Structure 1
Amino acid sequence: MTQTAISQPSATPQVSPNAERLGALLVFLSALCWSFGGAIARFVEMQDSWAVIFWRSAWAAAFLIGFMLWRDGGRGTLRLFASMGLPGLAVALCFASASTAFVVALSYTTVANILLMQAGVPLFAALLAWVLFRERVSGPTWIAIAAVIFGVAIMVSESLGGNVSPIGDGLALLIAVMFSIATVITRRFAHVRMTPATCLGTIFAALFAYSQAEALAVSPRDMGFLFAFGVLNLGVGLAFFATGARMVPAAVAALLGTFEPILGPIWVWLSHGEVPSTRTIVGGAVVFIALLVHIGLEFKRQSRPAKPGVTGVPSPH
């Protein structure tokens, strides 16, 4: 085991206010890209979900490889894969596990239960970052996390009745934990470029889906939507996340990611005419307002002039 594979910073990474704002924007854009997933998936007519996962993951991997080749060149791309070490491999396994667990969980539990578990991602990420790396979480961030969990609970409360599957809900919890771990690792090992790690995760998911799919033949129409599903929804979203999550605290990155389950029903409503329920609208409004208030407070904090003797780099929160 090489030293570079296990080395880590001695302290929580610190970045300038401008870099933190850019990171927050990129993480938000990743959630925006991912939020279109449900709307795009409704246009795909093929029934084999494993084939859908294969093509989505394959197109995402192709995009990410092309993106790195364009940005870093052939040798640079190889160096990125070689230098990501254990942190990159861990992130790849987290994304592959989360995407696979999502599909399997849908066979056992409702989407509402999965969304409720995903609302815990900011809390899990904040706790992991604090316990493992002592990355302090500010009071406003804790309040925003609580508001997000409360809002999503309202959204899914009317669908929580009925049969509860320990396997399905356990897999839904696994999705939230895996994404939280990936967020914390990406932030903690900010010196490691995680784009190749997310690419490797899509390759892992594609290979596993290939082993489970009955057939991979798709119509030209479906292939067009699968291209959008893989490139625009998954690939671009992963590229934004891998770049932006390095610049913001893990709890804030996970909090911004909550825009995905909030915006997702809106795109399905606009494109497929599925009107959200009253509780979905109320809960979504609670989450949306909490996120906007928190982001506004963060930007206001960062815009304050540094105190005398302070370098101008904000303390981790």
Structure 2
Amino acid sequence: MGKPTTATAAINAGATVSTSEERIGFLLVFLSALFWSFGGAIARFIDAGDSWTVVFWRSVWAAAFLLAFMLWRDGPRGTLALFRGMGFPGLAVALCFATASTSFVVALAYTTVANILLMQAGVPLIAALISWLLFRERVALPTWLAIAAVIAGVAIMVSESFTGDVSPVGDGLALLIAVVFSIATVITRRFAHVRMTPATCLGTVFAAFFAATQTVTFATSSSDMGFLFAFGALNLGLGLACFASGARVIPAAFAALLGTLETVLGPVWVWLIHSEVPSGRTVLGGSVVFLALLVHIGLELRRQSRPARPGVTGMPSPH
């Protein structure tokens, strides 16, 4: 986890593409969700006692992979142009991603993978709420109902913090991840020219530098380093590369639907591999959030399937 939300990078999809390109896009987004879903399971294999050590090496490997990917795809000049073209919006997205990816690793020491992933399922709807609060973007009634359901589901999940059953730090960090991802989504919608890959690469650099100031040691075992490589380069970096390449050629709602696979599969892998069972309130609250997202996506897919009325351009939905 600790990656951009599906809604964030999918906003720019809209150009006319061939059927074969669209199929490849579907496959790439599916693979990105699959790669990302293994994040929690990989993290549970790492024995490093200091979370900041994990943040540092994961960020270093992810940054190296993403930089190599951009150099291969765009060449040195193209890569430099992408970083220069980000501007303030790209910097803001990078800071959001650095915060989210760092919080994800630290939160794993305090709460379950299911609690983190299920809370993030509501990011697209939280982003709609933020857009309404800041920019007064129109929000349809079904979206308002879905937002209310997400708030209720999150409240159920974090209620365990008040009873002392789980650490409030874990739930607080999980909620912070959802909020900063939502902010990144809103920024990307408002500044559609921002390219996700360089912004995220910069975010991993920020996270690495900050972790370097907090960690007590950079030393890890060889087995841990292998898992850290997989956690950073493959889980985060390769997942992002697949998503950034695929999401731009398929409708945003379909990308969001495929992205929900991470929310479903992530807790399953941790349960099967590490026997980590989520609490009853996590399952209940997460189910409310997840169902609200699925209903919202279903309505969006239905809206996109309707033929456009004469004179109406294909502008993205305000919600």
Gaps of 5+ in 1: 1-11
Amino acid at match of 1:301: R
Give me the whole-angstrom Cα distance separating, in 2, the residues matched to 1:239 and 1:24: 14
Q: 1:147 aligns with which of 135, 146, 149?
A: 149
- Using the TM superposition, give the Cα deviation of residue 26 of structure 1 relative to its aligned residue in structure 2, in angstroms: 7.2
Q: 1:212 aligns with which of 203, 211, 214?
A: 214
- Using the TM superposition, give the Cα deviation of residue 245 of structure 1 relative to its aligned residue in structure 2, in angstroms: 8.5
Aligned-residue RMSD, C-alpha: 4.0
Deviation per CA, 1:27-47: give whole Å up to 9, x if none: 776555433221111111222
Amino acid at match of 2:212: Y
CA gap 1:236/1:152 in 2 versus in 1, 3 angstroms: farther
Q: 1:99 aligns with which of 62, 85, 101?
A: 101
- Counterpart check, 1:267 vs 2:276: no
Give the share of equivalent positions with the same residue, in percent: 73
CA gap 1:114/1:283 in 2 versus in 1, 3 angstroms: closer
Q: 1:125 aligns with which of 124, 127, 138?
A: 127
- Counterpart check, 1:162 vs 2:164: yes
Contact 1:30 / 1:241 at 8 angstroms: preserved in 2? yes
Deviation per CA, 1:143-167: give whole Å up to 9, x if none: 3333344345445545641189887
Equivalent positions of 1:32-71 (< 5 A) are 32-71=34-73
- Residue aligned with 2:220, SS: coil
Amino acid at match of 1:161: T
Give me the whole-angstrom Cα distance separating, in 2, the residues matched to 1:263 and 1:14: 25
- Counterpart check, 1:223 vs 2:218: no
- Using the TM superposition, give the Cα deviation of residue 261 of structure 1 relative to its aligned residue in structure 2, in angstroms: 4.9
Give me the whole-angstrom Cα distance separating, in 2, the residues matched to 1:81 and 1:98: 20
CA gap 1:138/1:24 in 2 versus in 1, 3 angstroms: farther
Where does residue 185 of structure 2 map in the other structure? 183
Give me the whole-angstrom Cα distance separating, in 2, the residues matched to 1:315 and 1:287: 21
Amino acid at match of 2:77: R
Where does residue 199 of structure 1 map in the other structure? 201
- Using the TM superposition, give the Cα deviation of residue 291 of structure 1 relative to its aligned residue in structure 2, in angstroms: 3.1
TM-score between the two structures when normalised by the length of structure 1? 0.76
Amino acid at match of 1:177: V
| Count of aligned residue pairs for this structure pair | 303
Deviation per CA, 1:33-87: give whole Å up to 9, x if none: 4332211111112222211111111111011111111111111001001111111
- Using the TM superposition, give the Cα deviation of residue 90 of structure 1 relative to its aligned residue in structure 2, in angstroms: 0.9
CA gap 1:226/1:192 in 2 versus in 1, 3 angstroms: same
Gaps of 5+ in 2: 1-10
Deviation per CA, 1:169-195: give whole Å up to 9, x if none: 665554333222111112221122121
Amino acid at match of 1:223: M
Where does residue 318 of structure 2 map in the other structure? 316
Give me the whole-angstrom Cα distance separating, in 1, the residues matched to 2:162 and 2:277: 19
Where does residue 4 of structure 2 map in the other structure? none
Contact 2:118 / 2:290 at 8 angstroms: preserved in 1? no
